[in-house]
Structure formats: C-alpha cells, structure tokens
C-alpha cells in the first residue's frame, strides 16, 4: 500500500506503546513486598488454559459473559489478520504462506475471520446495550468504555469494507462486473456485492479507507490500553498465571514480626510500596466489570465498601502519583514524615471501607481475572492494628479476651468443657485412645446456642462409636478473629502455642463443627508446623451415614433452607456434605435459596465482624441473608434455617428475632440429625 506510511505508523505507535508500558512496569516495581509466583508451573499453566483461554468464569453473568467469550476468541483469530494487513503495507497481497486464500488453511482462516468479525460486532452490540440502554450499575459508565467499543466496532466494519473492496477490485481487474465473492467469506462477500455498484473511485477510496482504518486503529487501540481498564487485555495472562495457588482461606503469614518491630520496619500495608508487584498487577488487570461488588455482602447492604472501587481507587492513586513513586519517596513537607505522605488510610482507603469486609471471598470467587482482596484488606488492617493502634473500639474487647483468657467471649477458660457435663466426654489430658480430637472452638464452648451443637455432635459421635476427646481448658481460641482483625502478632502466638499443644499430643485427626476453626487448623496451622488431618463435622457425619454407622430413621418433618458458611463453602469447597446429611433425614424437604453454594451470601460475621458493630449501610447483612433464605420457605413453624457454623447460627438467629420471625426454626445440621436419631 505504502511502505513509508506503514513504517511511520508502526514505528511511532510501537515506540509510544513501549514508553507507556515501561512506565507501568517501573511503577509495578515500586511495590516492595516480595511475591514468589514461580512455583507449581504446571498448575499455573493449567490455570491460564482453564480460566483465560477457557474463559471458565465468564458465563457466570450469561449475556456479558458470552459476549466477552466471543470478543476474546474474535481477538485471537483477528490478531493474525492485523499482522497480515500490516504486511500488505509493504507487499500488496501479502499473506503468510499457509494462509494464502487459495490454500485450504487460508480458506479455513478466511472463513473463521469472516464469522468472528461478525460475532465480535454482535458482542460489541451486547456491551453497548449493557452500557447505554440498561446502564448496568455494576459497570463503570464512562466515556472510555464506549470509546473502546466504538474503536472495536469500527475496526470490524472497516475489515469488511476492505475485503468487499478487494472482491470488487478483483472482478474489475478481470474485466468483469460485480464482485469476486467467496462462499467461505459470506459476510465480506455481502459487502462486496453491496459495493459492486459503486464507481471505481468510490471503491478504491473505501478499500483504502477500510485498510488504513483497520491497520491504524489496532495500533491506536494498543496505545490506549495502558491508560484504562482495557490494560487487562495485556495483563490478564500474567495475572492468571501468577494467581495465588495456596488454599483459598489462608492468609499469608507476616514474617519476622519481632524483628520488624525491633528494626522499626513497617508492619502490614501502610503505603502502596508495602504491596507486592502482584498486587499492582491486580490493579492493572481489573476490567471494572463490577462482578465483585455485585456479589459483595457489604456493598449489597449499602456499606461504603465496594471491592471494585477499592481496586480502582488504589490503581488510580498509583497512576496519579506514578512519576513520584517511580522517582522514589518525595521529600516530606515540614512536620510530615515521608512515610506519612504516602499513607493509604484515611485518604485513599477510608476506614469505613476497610472495616466493612467480612472476608467472605464472594468477590474473589466472582472475579474473572483472579484479583485478590482479602490479603490486601488484611494487610492494611495489620498496619492499623499493630503499628498505628487505630481500629474499631469494640475489637479491643475481643482481642483482650483472647490475649488474657484465651477466648473472645472473655469467659474464664477453665469453663471450656462445662458444656460436656454429664456427657462422659474424655479430656486429652486423661490420655484416652482416640480416633479424633474434637476441637470445640470458642463459640461452642461458651455460647449457649452453640453449646447445644457441641452436645449434639458429641452424642452423635458416641452413637456412631467414634472414639474422641476434647482439650477442655487446654484449648484456646484458634486466632481467626485476631488474624482477620489485623492482629497477626496475637494470631501467630496462638497458632504456635496451639500447634505445640496438638503436636505434643501427637494428634493425627481433628473434627470441628466451626468452619473458622476448620479453616485455620487445616489451611493456616501447617505454616506453623501443624501436621494433622482436619475434617468439618458435616464431612465426618456424612461419612458415618454412608458407612451405616449413623442411621437417621425418625421423621423430622420440616422444610429447610440451608445456608452455606463462607469458610466452609467458598473457602474450602465443602458444599455437598451438609446437604447429604439433610437429605438423609426422613421428612426433610430441602430448599435452595437463589444465592447458594459458591454464590451463597455471607451472614455478616466473618473477618472479625462478629466482634464489632456493623459499618453503617442501608440494612444489616444478616437481615438481608435471612430474607433470601425465608424467600424459599413456605412460612409457618415447620420451616427451619439450617446452618453448619456457630457464627452463622448466631447471626441468623439474631436476624429472625430482630424481624419477629421466631416461628422459623434455626438449627445446626448436627442438631437436625440428632432429632432423627434419638429414640432409636
């Protein structure tokens, strides 16, 4: 077409892109916390194949998801077309040899290109519809989104115009009228036919315009990427590859706290430089689709926390301060330390945002590009709690209770085994032979409602002939609320002490009815030397039913809605075991709320929320969740909300009482199973 023009276009646009990309790279490197993501290469490649190329999470939002899948594969197919077009700037009719249009592979490719060009147009129309007509709240309805869609739309149309022009020119060069259409290029052929009535000048103009518009727009598009949400087109592959492959519910231990304190180093995340390169890559990769916020229980109940805005707020803050951050810390103003100048809280991240998170994981489950939230939020909380001492006052009571008497309820720890009175449950200190250690947890030790669950579980284990014992006063809090409140120091003390105790007894298997204890013992204690198998009571009870050791026979006529606990379901993938138990109970009718399993809504207790006032919003999380569960129940006193977590139990029982729904029952799966067993 024009080698000079094409060379100029390529050199200028590629150089501009290289400049922008190098700045983004340098900005990413300002984050100082190391993150090793070079392990488990096979699993990482698999994640890329499944989640990026397989687009596995996309169809969770059907229309937008399928439109995205089409556009994604369209881009894959059409990338080659752009390379071919740039080549034609130098050699008219250029083609990579196997893709010549007279070769079978070339014809197959031309067919695919034709189909995908149309499909991408249709995909873009769906996105226009979501933005301009439906104006979906979860999206960022700004000019950038529409501009990029328009660029893609024009690029696709220009390709059809170029191909149509080629067909007409080929016919006229052969002294024929019409267009040299091809059956394997049906849509380009339609453009060819439509253009065949135009004058030579008009056809030539459109052919050139189609060519240069497509060739140039691809390069302009590339240059816009680093400045907006479409940067994910480039960063998604490394981001999915570098995703955290450790168990979902695990918080990474903060290393060497004592040493850091002595050296007066920062604890947790105070400024953006305390993040890791992977955190910054997360910011670059956010597509602003808003799926995270759409599922977030805090955002759904009107709190100030919106995970999407948390991410893009930090990203924009970094972009705005790019030059300063790359140059290194700016000299502090008088009376201000350099450190304070870049503090994230309260300007960039508001405390109300930070303390509203329940660590439920709904955002991370939904994010199609694997952006993490919990580690970042806990990182900032760690700094506030351990370094600055600014956190919600009510958390102090919980932390003090754990620190002084070993439980957040502040009860004397020697009352831990009181619930077991009369049940003949041995203590580990008596030296019994056991199959399982029953880790009771603070809630079932001290909270009256949960004590009933402990009793029910103990009875069931005895009925099934399972040999078990408890630690009694030797058990202390596992540390989950302290860790999630940001007091990593206290958590690590508890974890070390508990692991020492458990290893001292040579414990091999642990059962617990608390998903928070389950998650911590199973996923976090291995970092402190814990080497034991941990099962949730739902898993063990389901197995005992399967083995015929528990035979629920008595009819419990009730209609149940089961509530998935976040730390059992989303964080640990235990969805089926509790349902299996409920289905095994005669007379039970199990109903699923719309938000169930990996989309189940949090009860509002996790992430240390249980121990503080809920942040201000339109409604309470437990009330909203209760309503979702009630919506699938027919009403009346034969209805029960079933749970498998002491904190969910508390939150949902409170919600039922607050809203005068006391006719609706609320029982743990162990209590329901026991009802069906007693009297055997």
Tokens describing residue 126 = 């769906």
Contact call for residue 371 and ligand SF4 (CB under 6 A): yes
Give the Cα separation of 514 and 479 in Å (integer).
13
Give the other-Cβ count within 10 Å of 274's Cβ. 21
Alpha-carbon Rg for the chain in angstroms: 30
Left if phi > 0, otherwise alpha if psi is -120 to 50, otherwise beta: which for 433? Answer: beta
DSSP classification of residue 342? T
Q: Applying CB under 6 A, which of residues 82, 181, 287, 450 lies at the interface with ligand SF4?
A: 287
3-state secondary structure of 630: helix
Give the Cα separation of 382 and 489 in Å (integer).
9
Q: Applying CB under 6 A, which of residues 167, 286, 568, 574 lies at the interface with ligand SF4?
A: 286
Judged by beta carbon, residue 288 or residue 524, the one nearer ligand SF4 is: 288
3-state secondary structure of 162: helix
Q: Applying CB under 6 A, which of residues 123, 165, 210, 307 lies at the interface with ligand SF4?
A: 307
Contact call for residue 289 and ligand SF4 (CB under 6 A): yes
Of 508-547, binders to ligand SF4 (CB under 6 A) are: none
**471 and 427 Cβ atoms separated by less than 8 Å:** yes
Contact call for residue 290 and ligand SF4 (CB under 6 A): yes
Q: Which of 658, 659, 656 is nearest to 667 (CA)?
A: 656
Contact call for residue 298 and ligand SF4 (CB under 6 A): yes
Contact call for residue 373 and ligand SF4 (CB under 6 A): yes
Q: C-beta of 146: minimal distance to ligand SF4 in Å? A: 18
Per-residue binding string, ligand SF4, 332-361, x by CB under 6 A, is -------------------------xxxxx
Judged by beta carbon, residue 360 or residue 672, the one nearer ligand SF4 is: 360
Per-residue binding string, ligand SF4, 309-328, x by CB under 6 A, is --x-----------------
DSSP letters, 532-589, are -EEEEHHHHHHHHHHTTSS---S---EEEEEPPPTTTTTTT---HHHHHHHHHSTTEE
Chain-centre distance of CA 276, in angstroms?
A: 18
Q: C-beta of 620: minimal distance to ligand SF4 in Å? A: 14
Give the Cα separation of 450 and 48 in Å (integer).
43
Contact call for residue 288 and ligand SF4 (CB under 6 A): yes
Give the Cα separation of 534 and 508 in Å (integer).
9
Tokens describing residue 255 = 């290393």
**124 and 71 Cβ atoms separated by less than 8 Å:** yes
Q: C-beta of 311: minimal distance to ligand SF4 in Å? A: 5
Judged by beta carbon, residue 9 or residue 28, the one nearer ligand SF4 is: 28
Q: C-beta of 108: minimal distance to ligand SF4 in Å? A: 34
Q: Which of 640, 569, 559 is nearest to 601 (CA)?
A: 569
Q: How far apart are the first and last CA of the chain?
A: 88
Phi, psi at residue 470, to the nearest 5°?
-120, 165
Judged by beta carbon, residue 138 or residue 451, the one nearer ligand SF4 is: 138
Judged by beta carbon, residue 280 or residue 289, the one nearer ligand SF4 is: 289
Judged by beta carbon, residue 295 or residue 407, the one nearer ligand SF4 is: 295
Q: Applying CB under 6 A, which of residues 308, 455, 522, 536 lies at the interface with ligand SF4?
A: 308
Q: Are strands 558-562 and 509-512 parallel, antiparallel or unpaired?
A: unpaired
Q: Which of 507, 438, 434, 518 is nearest to 470 (CA)?
A: 438
Q: Applying CB under 6 A, which of residues 152, 240, 374, 629 lies at the interface with ligand SF4?
A: 374
Judged by beta carbon, residue 195 or residue 371, the one nearer ligand SF4 is: 371
Judged by beta carbon, residue 289 or residue 470, the one nearer ligand SF4 is: 289
Judged by beta carbon, residue 363 or residue 595, the one nearer ligand SF4 is: 363
Of 538-597, binders to ligand SF4 (CB under 6 A) are: none
Judged by beta carbon, residue 88 or residue 599, the one nearer ligand SF4 is: 599
Judged by beta carbon, residue 593 or residue 617, the one nearer ligand SF4 is: 617
Give the Cα separation of 590 and 458 in Å (integer).
25
Contact call for residue 367 and ligand SF4 (CB under 6 A): yes
From the list 172-180, 216-224, 287-295, 612-620, the region that binds ligand SF4 by CB under 6 A is: 287-295
Give the Cα separation of 537 and 390 in Å (integer).
37
**542 and 577 Cβ atoms separated by less than 8 Å:** yes
Judged by beta carbon, residue 384 or residue 502, the one nearer ligand SF4 is: 384
Tokens 């040899």 identify what position? 97
Q: C-beta of 541: minimal distance to ligand SF4 in Å? A: 28
Per-residue binding string, ligand SF4, 243-282, x by CB under 6 A, is ----------------------------------------
Q: C-beta of 443: minimal distance to ligand SF4 in Å? A: 20
Give the Cα separation of 352 and 433 in Å (integer).
49
- What number of chain residues touch ligand SF4 (CB under 6 A)? 27
Residues that bind ligand SF4 (CB under 6 A): 286-292, 296-298, 305, 307-308, 311, 357-363, 366-367, 369, 371, 373-374
């Amino acid at each position: 077409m024009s080698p000079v023009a094409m060379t100029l276009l390529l050199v200028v646009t590629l150089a501009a892109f290289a400049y922008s990309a190098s700045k983004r790279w340098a900005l990413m490197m300002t984050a100082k916390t190391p993150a090793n993501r070079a392990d488990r290469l096979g699993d990482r490649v698999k994640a890329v194949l499944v989640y990026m190329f397989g687009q596995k999470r996309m169809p969770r939002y059907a229309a937008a998801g399928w439109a995205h899948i089409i556009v994604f594969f369209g881009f894959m197919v059409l990338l080659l077309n752009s390379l071919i077009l740039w080549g034609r700037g130098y050699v008219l009719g250029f083609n990579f040899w196997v893709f010549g249009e007279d070769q079978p592979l070339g014809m197959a490719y031309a067919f695919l290109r034709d189909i995908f060009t149309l499909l991408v147009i249709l995909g873009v129309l769906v996105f226009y519809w979501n933005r301009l007509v439906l104006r979906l709240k979860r999206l960022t309805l700004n000019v950038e989104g529409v501009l990029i869609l328009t660029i893609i739309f024009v690029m696709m149309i220009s390709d059809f115009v170029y191909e149509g022009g080629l067909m007409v020119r080929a016919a006229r060069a052969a002294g024929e009228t019409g267009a040299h259409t091809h059956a394997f290029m049906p849509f380009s052929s339609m453009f060819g036919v439509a253009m065949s009535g135009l004058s030579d000048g008009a056809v030539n103009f459109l052919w050139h315009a189609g060519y240069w518009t497509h060739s140039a727009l691809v390069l302009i598009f590339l240059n816009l990427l680093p400045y907006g949400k479409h940067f994910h087109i480039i960063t998604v592959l490394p981001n999915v590859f570098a995703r955290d492959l450790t168990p979902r519910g695990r918080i990474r231990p903060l290393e060497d706290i004592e040493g850091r304190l002595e050296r007066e180093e920062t604890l947790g995340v105070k400024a953006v430089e305390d993040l890791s390169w992977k955190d910054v890559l997360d910011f670059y990769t956010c597509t602003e689709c808003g799926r995270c916020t759409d599922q977030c229980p805090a955002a759904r109940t009107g709190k100030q926390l919106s995970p999407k805005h948390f991410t893009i707020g930090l990203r924009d803050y970094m972009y705005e301060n790019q030059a300063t951050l790359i140059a290194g810390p700016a000299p502090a103003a008088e009376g201000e330390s350099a450190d304070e100048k870049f503090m994230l809280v309260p300007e960039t991240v508001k405390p109300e945002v930070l303390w509203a998170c329940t660590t439920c994981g709904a955002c991370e489950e939904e994010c199609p590009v694997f952006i993490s939230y919990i580690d970042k939020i806990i990182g900032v909380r760690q700094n506030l709690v351990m370094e600055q001492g600014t956190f919600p006052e009510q958390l102090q009571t919980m932390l003090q209770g754990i620190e002084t008497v070993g439980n957040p309820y502040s009860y004397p720890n020697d009352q831990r085994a009181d619930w077991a009175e009369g049940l003949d449950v041995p203590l580990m200190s008596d030296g019994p032979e056991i199959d399982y250690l029953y880790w009771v947890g603070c809630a079932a030790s001290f909270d009256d409602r949960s004590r009933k669950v402990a009793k029910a579980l103990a009875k069931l284990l005895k009925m099934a002939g399972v040999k078990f014992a408890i630690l009694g006063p030797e058990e202390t809090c596992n540390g989950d609320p302290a860790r999630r409140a940001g007091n990593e120091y206290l958590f690590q003390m508890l974890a070390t002490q508990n692991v020492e105790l458990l290893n001292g007894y040579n414990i091999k298997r642990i059962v617990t009815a608390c998903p928070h204890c389950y998650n911590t013992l199973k996923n976090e204690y291995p970092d402190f030397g814990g080497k034991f198998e941990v099962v949730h009571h739902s898993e063990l009870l389901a197995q005992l039913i399967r083995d015929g050791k528990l035979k629920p026979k008595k009819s419990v006529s009730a209609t149940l809605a089961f509530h998935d606990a976040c730390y059992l379901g989303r964080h640990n993938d235990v969805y089926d075991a509790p349902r299996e138990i409920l289905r095994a109970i005669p007379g039970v009718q199990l109903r699923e709320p719309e938000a169930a399993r990996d989309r189940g809504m949090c009860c509002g207790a996790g992430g240390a929320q249980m121990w503080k006032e809920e942040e201000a919003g339109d409604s309470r999380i437990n009330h909203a969740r209760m309503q979702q569960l009630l919506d699938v129940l027919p009403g009346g006193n034969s209805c029960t909300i079933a749970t498998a977590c002491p904190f969910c139990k508390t939150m949902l029982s409170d919600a039922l009482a607050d809203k005068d729904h006391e006719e609706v029952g609320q029982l743990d799966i162990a209590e329901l199973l026991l009802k069906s067993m007693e009297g055997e």
